[in-house]
Chain A
């Protein structure tokens, strides 16, 4: 277990460093900065002397390598820099957004697993049946939907027409506000899970050890419970992990649509305001989440499937 963790970290840390470097470079070659942007929109014409001072204060005139070294040095102590816009530490801005984001991502994934795995499983047990056709048609449709359009339609139907649920916002953070964004975000992973589960279960159902179990007189229920579920789970968990990890990034649009106060909507707002430290912080947060979940998935393999050994 420990060995897996160490090996995995050996992969994760270089990737994380590379992401930091890439993001930093991208935003450093950005033509025009927050300050020139403030001048461009015509509303606020700043005195050149003030601009000069602001550039100095924000360290925009220092050479690239110096800024990078400073940035990494601060990162190491957990300092993501200061937001150009609000003058608050980015860590603080993000920290209030993380919990709503996590809530949304977990709720979406719970929906996806519950519906997707069930559909895929039922479909595989009776291939060619009505339930198979229905689940596979909904799966391919779910993959082709644009999340925010689906969210918009949900909003129109359940919030504006039927008045069952609030149309947007965080509210008091309760379940009622969470349902629509979570379903809109979860429909893609749900579809993918339905397809993967079906394929994985079909694969296992044809395996030799399942035939052996059946021929020795094991009841179908026990075969499924003992052999099929456990083996199909490995493949399903891979997809769950990959989807889960990238969900915080995918949530950007849904969060914006439902005015959900998460990391994604902070990122979009910061992009519009050219608040580079905040954008960098959000990207790092999203990548960190992805890498963290994937490490967990690797550990989960070892628990579920003793055949998998790293080393």
Chain B
């Protein structure tokens, strides 16, 4: 594979997904929720309805366009939460050490032992379905990777000359952590966040599919699949297109993450080439 082709393909797929989400009102053909018309129920794909229509006669293509907004919002916001939690815990644990480090390491092990989907499921059960609880559930449950990376990096950077110099200059602990150490670990963190975003989009789909995420009639790719499942025999296109939308978006994020890792960490590239 040519150098950087991952990044290009992945980046383009992600750019398309973002474009669709941002310009949804302009590229969608109909309103995703209101334009129900039982006369058009369950039509197969055609020129008028490129991806077909659902049981209420709504245009699948338009619903997918609007669904991109929900999926990407969930992905981005939950990853921001995860990164903030993970980085803060990891940086402080690695820098201060001692009982705080033990505590954070214990917490990380705990989070790793409970599969994040199961944990998110439990949180959704408590908070009830909806966009906000979905973001909270996914934003609180998969920070262990960024925490581990941040901690490991701090441990190796702590003894570097420039960090020592900053300490001699009288910088406070937090200032050293966030101005001296953090910029050095941005690379791996961005890779983790990119890959994690794909995971969050898959988890959103899974939770919505179980009926705990976005509730109908609002279109999210997962809730569309949840509605489509009972009609898989009569109207398979209802399942095919939202699933493809998820697949290509997550594929794009994974390729982009891989590509960024190769660029930001050249060692891993030579190892894999």
Contact of A153 among B205, B239, B272 (CB under 8 A): B239
Contact of A283 among B118, B206, B209 (CB under 8 A): B118
> Hey, what's the 0/1 contact readout for A251-267 against B, CB within 8 Å counting as 1?
01100110000000001
Q: Is residue A183 within 8 Å, beta carbon to beta carbon, of the partner chain?
A: no
On chain A, the residues within 8 Å of B154 by CB distance are none
B198 near A249 with CB under 8 A, answer no
B125 near A18 with CB under 8 A, answer no
Contact of B123 among A26, A127, A146 (CB under 8 A): A26
Distance of A271 Cα from B119 Cα, bound (Å)? 12
On chain A, the residues within 8 Å of B117 by CB distance are 249-250, 252-253
A271 near B239 with CB under 8 A, answer no
Q: What is the interface residue range for chain B against chain A?
A: 35 or more
On chain A, the residues within 8 Å of B255 by CB distance are 140
B271 near A199 with CB under 8 A, answer yes
> Hey, what's the 0/1 contact readout for B208-250 against A, CB within 8 Å counting as 1?
0111100000000000010001001100100110110011001
Q: Is residue A287 within 8 Å, beta carbon to beta carbon, of the partner chain?
A: yes
> Hey, what's the 0/1 contact readout for B122-135 against A, CB within 8 Å counting as 1?
11111000000000
Q: Is residue A130 within 8 Å, beta carbon to beta carbon, of the partner chain?
A: no
Segment among B32-40, B41-49, B108-116 that sits at the interface with chain A = B108-116
On chain A, the residues within 8 Å of B106 by CB distance are 14-15, 18
A15 near B115 with CB under 8 A, answer no
Q: Is residue A58 within 8 Å, beta carbon to beta carbon, of the partner chain?
A: no
Q: Is residue A1 within 8 Å, beta carbon to beta carbon, of the partner chain?
A: no
A146-B202, A256-B210 are contacts. A279–B236 as well, Cβ < 8 Å?
no
On chain B, the residues within 8 Å of A127 by CB distance are 273
Q: Is residue A212 within 8 Å, beta carbon to beta carbon, of the partner chain?
A: no
> Hey, what's the 0/1 contact readout for A86-99 against B, CB within 8 Å counting as 1?
00000000000000
Within 8 A of B (CB), among A133-175: 133, 136, 140-141, 143-149, 152-153, 155-156, 160
A290 near B115 with CB under 8 A, answer yes
Which chain A residue lies CB-closest to B207?
A: A253
Distance of A16 Cα from B124 Cα, bound (Å)? 22
B258 near A148 with CB under 8 A, answer no
Distance of A287 Cα from B118 Cα, bound (Å)? 10
On chain B, the residues within 8 Å of A11 by CB distance are 109
B210 near A253 with CB under 8 A, answer yes
Q: Taking the nearest CB of chain B, how far is it from the CB of A191, in angstroms? A: 10
B250 near A290 with CB under 8 A, answer no
Q: Is residue A268 within 8 Å, beta carbon to beta carbon, of the partner chain?
A: yes
Q: Is residue A52 within 8 Å, beta carbon to beta carbon, of the partner chain?
A: no
Q: Is residue B194 within 8 Å, beta carbon to beta carbon, of the partner chain?
A: no
Contact of A133 among B1, B114, B115 (CB under 8 A): B1
On chain A, the residues within 8 Å of B121 by CB distance are 252, 267-268, 271
B247 near A145 with CB under 8 A, answer yes
Per DSSP, chain B at the interface is: helix
A271-B121, A274-B125 are contacts. A160–B246 as well, Cβ < 8 Å?
no
A249 near B115 with CB under 8 A, answer yes
Contact of B122 among A16, A18, A23 (CB under 8 A): A23
Q: Taking the nearest CB of chain B, how far is it from the CB of A151, in angstroms? A: 10
Q: Which of A146, A199, A249, A256 has the most CB of B within 10 A?
A: A146
On chain B, the residues within 8 Å of A26 by CB distance are 122-123, 126
Which chain A residue lies CB-closest to B212?
A: A271
B243 near A152 with CB under 8 A, answer yes
A146 near B229 with CB under 8 A, answer no
Distance of A144 Cα from B240 Cα, bound (Å)? 15
Distance of A239 Cα from B252 Cα, bound (Å)? 23
A144-B247, A146-B243 are contacts. A272–B271 as well, Cβ < 8 Å?
no
Q: Is residue A226 within 8 Å, beta carbon to beta carbon, of the partner chain?
A: no
Q: Is residue A209 within 8 Å, beta carbon to beta carbon, of the partner chain?
A: no
Which chain A residue lies CB-closest to B239?
A: A152
Q: Is residue B144 within 8 Å, beta carbon to beta carbon, of the partner chain?
A: no
Q: Is residue A236 within 8 Å, beta carbon to beta carbon, of the partner chain?
A: no
Q: Which of A136, A145, A148, A248 has the most CB of B within 10 A?
A: A148
B272 near A279 with CB under 8 A, answer no
Distance of A29 Cα from B125 Cα, bound (Å)? 12
Q: Is residue B254 within 8 Å, beta carbon to beta carbon, of the partner chain?
A: yes
B126 near A30 with CB under 8 A, answer yes
A149 near B258 with CB under 8 A, answer no
B225 near A199 with CB under 8 A, answer no
On chain A, the residues within 8 Å of B250 by CB distance are 144-146
Which chain B residue lies CB-closest to A272?
A: B211
On chain B, the residues within 8 Å of A143 by CB distance are 198, 254
Jot down 21 A-B pairs with beta carbons below 8 A, ordered by A. Answer: A11-B109, A15-B109, A18-B110, A26-B122, A140-B258, A146-B206, A146-B246, A147-B202, A147-B206, A149-B239, A152-B225, A153-B239, A198-B272, A250-B117, A252-B118, A256-B210, A257-B229, A271-B121, A287-B113, A287-B114, A290-B115
What is the interface of chain A, defined by CB distance below 8 A to chain B?
11, 14-16, 18-19, 22-23, 26-27, 29-31, 127, 133, 136, 140-141, 143-149, 152-153, 155-156, 160, 198-199, 202-203, 246, 248-250, 252-253, 256-257, 267-268, 271-272, 274, 279, 283, 286-287, 290-291
Name the 7 nearest CB pairs between A and B, nearest first.
Answer: A249-B115, A149-B243, A144-B251, A144-B250, A271-B125, A249-B118, A246-B115
- Other than A253-B117, A267-B121, give 9 A-B pairs with Cβ distance below 8 A: A11-B109, A14-B106, A19-B114, A140-B251, A141-B247, A149-B247, A153-B240, A268-B210, A279-B122
